[in-house]
Amino acid sequence: MFRNLNKVFWLFGLILFSFSLAFAQSETEKEDPSKKLDLPETLQETLQKRRIKEEEKEFQELIKNGEEAVKISEEVSKNFDQTKKISSEDQKKLEKLEKLVKKIRQELGAEEDKEKTEDDSPSSLSAAINNLKSKSLNLLDELKKRTKFSISVVAVESSNSIWKLIKFLKLSRN
């Protein structure tokens, strides 16, 4: 009787070991798809080149979004300097800027702000507009310094600051 029970436990252990080995192997395959298949070297090189081109395209898109953010913030700043108020057209530009900044934050790998941090709120609309413009320029500079292998904490912080300034400007009434 104990012999049969011993065989059952041994068989059960072997099955468990096989499943754990298969699971561990599937986890490593998720990390690098080229390891999953034994691809010819030329095909691996082609896939690598395609991935590099895609990363370069994403980087250029990130820079383009940063330049667009600077352009929008400069337009809002120029309009505010002339009229000393935020028009409905400027509100639309701020909404577009907010979407751009969210997209940039996402590309940088920033997570959603779950905790409410109290930053120094600007003392006036004029100060907020000037901060928006300078933070946008800062963000663009940091994006240009970034490489595909790095994450710029300063760029994430700049995008967070811009996002908070946009919220302040959208909520403030002239």
pLDDT the model gives residue 89: 92
Where do the H-state alpha helices sit in the chain?
Answer: 2-31, 33-36, 41-83, 88-108, 125-145, 153-171
pLDDT the model gives residue 6: 63
Q: Mind listing the pLDDT tens digit for each residue in 144-156? A: 887 666 667 888 8
Max CA distance (Å), the chain: 95
pLDDT the model gives residue 93: 93
Residue type, 34: S
Which portions of the chain are predicted below pLDDT 70? 1-14, 16-37, 112-120, 147-151, 173-174
How far apart CA 22 and CA 128 sit, in angstroms, is 57
Q: Residue 86: left if φ>0, alpha if ψ -120 to 50, beta else—which one? A: beta
pLDDT the model gives residue 71: 95
How far apart CA 78 and CA 156 sit, in angstroms, is 26
